[in-house]
């Protein structure tokens, strides 16, 4: 006896899902577009951070930099810079042997408008017949304690300008709180070497003994 063919299941009419019925997970705080300020936050605002100081270079301000100088972190020293650009801090015990090549400067903690910290070697004007450019640089560094200044060499002297609108306050590195810490930090991070005696290789070479 032949079996009757199985009945096909009744087909259901095709149901089209509307766009509004799609599986969208609602934002837990409502519409994300209600808080426009949140959408515009930068990474620095979302994760506040502090820049770690890894080095301090001894250099003059660049001609296109706005700079400020710290009012308290500065000290006079004697520096020698070789033709290769190496910087040496000359201690009193070796000063006489290098007097003709050393410069008496005031090292000042400085910072640019963009937040780069460095040490500005400001020439200390001599008591007798000071060079005009040394006087100008020293005056500019003092003005930079209160104002953002820009200094650039023009012909025989520096040209100094300051911002008509002072803008933001400088951001000083928290690692440096005194002139001693500034010198120690520069030394430890390779900003200069120390010449402490007349037997130093640099002194011997300059005296023709090496």
**pLDDT tens-digit series, residues 79-132:** 999 999 999 999 999 999 998 999 999 999 999 999 999 999 999 999 889 999
- Cα separation values, 174 from 26, 35, 68, 171, 182, Å: 45, 35, 16, 9, 11
Radius of gyration of the chain from its Cα atoms, rounded to whole angstroms: 33
Q: Percentages helix, strand, coil for the chain, rounded to the nearest 5?
A: 25, 25, 50
Give residue-wise pLDDT tens across range 150-171: 999 998 999 999 998 878 999 9
Task: Say how far apart CA 186 and CA 124 lie, in whole Å.
Answer: 20
Residue range 4-25: average pLDDT?
53
Give residue-wise pLDDT tens across range 31-61: 777 777 777 777 666 665 567 888 899 999 9
Residue range 51-77: average pLDDT?
94
Task: Say how far apart CA 114 and CA 31 lie, in whole Å.
Answer: 37
Residue range 6-34: average pLDDT?
56
Short-list 161, 125, 142, 138, CA closest to 68: 142
Task: Say how far apart CA 157 and CA 133 lie, in whole Å.
Answer: 5
Supply the pLDDT for residue 21.
46
pLDDT band per the 50, 70, 90 thresholds, residue 144: very high
Supply the pLDDT for residue 14.
47
Task: Count CB-CB contacts under 10 A for residue 67.
Answer: 23
Supply the pLDDT for residue 91.
96
Burial class (CB in 10 A: 0-12, 13-18, 19+), 174: exposed
Residue range 6-31: average pLDDT?
54
pLDDT band per the 50, 70, 90 thresholds, residue 6: low
């Amino acid at each position: 006896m032949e079996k009757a063919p199985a009945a096909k299941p009744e087909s259901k009419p095709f149901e089209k899902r509307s766009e509004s019925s799609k599986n969208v997970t609602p934002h837990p705080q409502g519409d994300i577009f209600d808080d426009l300020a949140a959408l515009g936050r930068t990474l620095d605002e979302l994760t506040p951070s502090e820049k770690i100081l890894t080095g301090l270079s001894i250099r003059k301000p660049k001609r296109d930099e706005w700079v400020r100088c710290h009012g308290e972190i500065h000290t006079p020293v004697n520096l020698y810079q070789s033709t290769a650009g190496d910087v040496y801090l000359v201690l009193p015990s070796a000063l006489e042997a290098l007097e003709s090549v050393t410069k008496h400067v005031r090292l000042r903690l400085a910072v640019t408008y963009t937040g780069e910290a460095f040490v500005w070697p400001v020439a200390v004007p001599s008591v007798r017949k000071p060079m005009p450019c040394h006087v100008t640089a020293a005056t500019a560094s003092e003005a930079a304690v209160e104002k953002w200044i820009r200094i650039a060499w023009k012909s025989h002297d520096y040209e100094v300008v300051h911002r008509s609108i002072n803008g933001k306050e400088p951001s000083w590195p928290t690692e440096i709180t005194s002139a001693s810490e500034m010198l120690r930090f520069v030394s430890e991070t390779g900003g200069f070497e120390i010449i402490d005696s007349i037997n130093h290789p640099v002194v011997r070479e300059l005296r023709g003994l090496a």
